[in-house]
Amino acid sequence: MSRTDPTELPAVHESWLPREHPLHRPRHGRRQLTALLCALLFLTAPVTTWVFGARAEQLENRPPAEFPSITEGWGFLTGLGPWAAENLPFRGAAVRSVHGISQGVFGEPARLDNGSHSSPIGTGSDQQPRPPLDENVFPKVIEGDAGWLYLGHDVSYPCTARRDLEQVISGLQRWRQVVEASGRRFQLVIAPDKSTMYPGNLPENYAGEDCATRARQEFWRRVPQATGAVDMREPLREAAERNGRPIYHDIDTHWTHEGGITMAYQLGERLQPGVTDGWKVAPSRQYPHTADIPDLLGQQRTVPIQAYSLAPDGGADNTRFRPSDFHRPLQLHSPPKPGMIRQPTRMIGDSFSQFASPYLAATFTDIGIAHAEDVPARPREMGEFLAEGEVVTFELSERFVSGGRYDLLDPAVADRIGAVLAAHPR
């Protein structure tokens, strides 16, 4: 039978030791219980409030985060936070309150985090490792003069580029090589940022002004010439001057229908010079369009949109309005008429193409449009989609190209799809 050392303390929980003892650790049972209850309330709030009729308000130009699948392992737990945050009722009111307080007290917009998703506008891929300068140091919205709003990614993406300009140019050149090697024609359109077309309404000083300005100037000096891209800047300025109004809305980041028509004209003349001579364009309906940038401030605002008719033969309107995000390829077929492009065309685009699709439908007998995000995600399927065309056209957003955000800029992606095209030559 062993004897107990009288100098030893009995084995007790550290919380039972005297407070002055160096090993004393108080219990946190009540605090832990409170924290657990708060977490449970946060995570179940969307479901509980949904039962009583409350619904989450969609703030971004994308669906809220979906409930994570139990099959995702640890991803189920990490996905609960974004799902609960984006599906909370009254979220819009909270965002508007935060913005109002920040603007009223500090004189600047709140830096609101949009979660782990990529840009809501003109989407690219957000899977690359972040550069040393975090894009989240930049505001999501830049409030300019005369009430103009600019998307913060116009500045943050070129300032935190994930591919340098040489890599961007090389990636675009590789696409031209693999497409043309298969016997097809390749067209590249880069939709300019609103801040490129209308820099005069940017504020006098804003975060990233110097680096974004340098990147923008170098981008337009080199990329169109090196890649053969359609430089849309001057045609857009001419169209705005003819119409007597800006070709981008003051609170939306996209060009208007006039921009979409201008793109259709540029593509038509590239593919078949003189084909647009008989085209007839006239104003048609007007409708309210939900502006995208105010969504990032928790606001719901609309802008008036002027749509147009387009008759390629100068006769009846041939446009077709088919809303689509292009994640499921949009196929548009029209009976041939004089003044139409008859070569089957397949396009990779983004949200700027949404304002062009009615006019491409009017002027191309066979055109399909898929989203740029899906090219690296589903290369075999996208390769077969592009193989259907005699012409392959890319419409890409300046901010995503200059920031190196498109995964399709990886030459390996072009090579994989190029192999599919080569197997189905034209």
Concatenating the DSSP letter of every residue in 332-345 gives EE----TT-B-S-E
Q: State mean pLDDT over 222-245.
A: 97
Instruction: Note the pLDDT tens digit of each residue in 262-310.
Output: 999 999 999 999 999 999 999 999 999 999 999 999 999 999 999 999 9
Label residue 21 by pLDDT band (50, 70, 90): low
Q: State mean pLDDT over 179-197.
A: 98
Q: What is the reported pLDDT for 346?
A: 98
What is the percent of the chain where pLDDT is above 90? 68
Residue 191: exposed, middle, or buried by beta-carbon count in 10 A (0-12, 13-18, 19+)? buried
Higher pLDDT, 209 or 97: 209
Joined together, the tokens standing for residue 29 give 């049972």
Tell me the whole-structure pTM to 2 decimals. Answer: 0.73
Q: What is the reported pLDDT for 271?
A: 97
Q: Who's near 299: CB < 8 A, 6+ residues apart?
A: 96
Residue 395 CA: distances (Å) to CA of 129, 345, 382: 25, 13, 15
Residues 79 and 86: beta-carbon distance below 8 Å: no
Query: What is the amino acid identity at position 211?
Result: C
Q: Lowest mean pLDDT: which of 116-125, 258-267, 288-297, 338-347?
A: 116-125
What is the DSSP code (8-state) at residue 201? G
Q: What is the reported pLDDT for 390?
A: 98
Instruction: Note the pLDDT tens digit of each residue in 298-314.
Output: 999 999 999 999 999 99
Residues 333 and 389: beta-carbon distance below 8 Å: no
DSSP string, 367-400: EEEEETTHHHHSHHHHHHHHHT-SEEEEEEEHHH
Across the beta sheet with 345-349, what order do the strands follow? 230-231, 185-191, 391-397, 345-349, 366-371, 330-333
Does the pLDDT value for residue 382 go beyond 90? yes
Instruction: Note the pLDDT tens digit of each residue in 72-111.
Output: 666 565 665 665 566 666 555 555 554 555 555 445 555 5
Q: Lowest mean pLDDT: which of 70-79, 171-180, 334-343, 387-396?
A: 70-79
Q: Who's near 209: CB < 8 A, 6+ residues apart?
A: 155, 202
CA dist., res. 54 & res. 299, Å (int):
18
CA dihedral sign of residues 315, 230, 307, 331: positive
How many other CB atoms sit within 10 Å of the CB of residue 232?
25
Q: What is the reported pLDDT for 262?
A: 98
Q: To the nearest whole number, what is the mean pLDDT of the chain?
A: 84
Q: State mean pLDDT over 311-321.
A: 96
Helix (H, G, I), strand (E, B) or coil at 235: helix
Q: State mean pLDDT over 207-213.
A: 94
Instruction: Note the pLDDT tens digit of each residue in 140-176.
Output: 999 999 999 999 999 999 999 999 999 999 999 999 9
CA dist., res. 328 & res. 331, Å (int):
9
Phi–psi pair at 113, nearest 5 degrees: -85, 130
CA dist., res. 396 & res. 329, Å (int):
16
Beta bridge partner(s), residue 150: 142
Label residue 37 by pLDDT band (50, 70, 90): confident
Q: Which residues of 52-71 are buried (b: 16+ CB within 10 A; e: fewer)?
A: eeeebbebbbbebbeebeee
Nearest to 253 by CA among 134, 123, 138, 126: 123
Q: What is the reported pLDDT for 134?
A: 74
Q: What is the reported pLDDT for 135?
A: 78
Helices (H), 228-271: 233-243, 257-271
Q: State mean pLDDT over 101-128.
A: 47
CA dist., res. 340 & res. 364, Å (int):
5
CA dist., res. 143 & res. 99, Å (int):
12
CA dist., res. 161 & res. 170, Å (int):
15
Q: What is the reported pLDDT for 281?
A: 98
Does the pLDDT value for residue 230 go beyond 50? yes
Residues 360 and 328: beta-carbon distance below 8 Å: no
Q: What is the reported pLDDT for 116?
A: 36
Q: What is the reported pLDDT for 136?
A: 79
Phi–psi pair at 151, nearest 5 degrees: -70, 130
Helix (H, G, I), strand (E, B) or coil at 151: strand
Phi–psi pair at 309, nearest 5 degrees: -100, 150
The 3-state DSSP composition of the chain as helix, strand, coil percent (nearest 5) reads 45, 15, 40
Geometric angle at alpha carbon 386, from 381 and 387, rounded to 5°: 95
CA dist., res. 233 & res. 16, Å (int):
74
Q: What is the reported pLDDT for 11?
A: 65
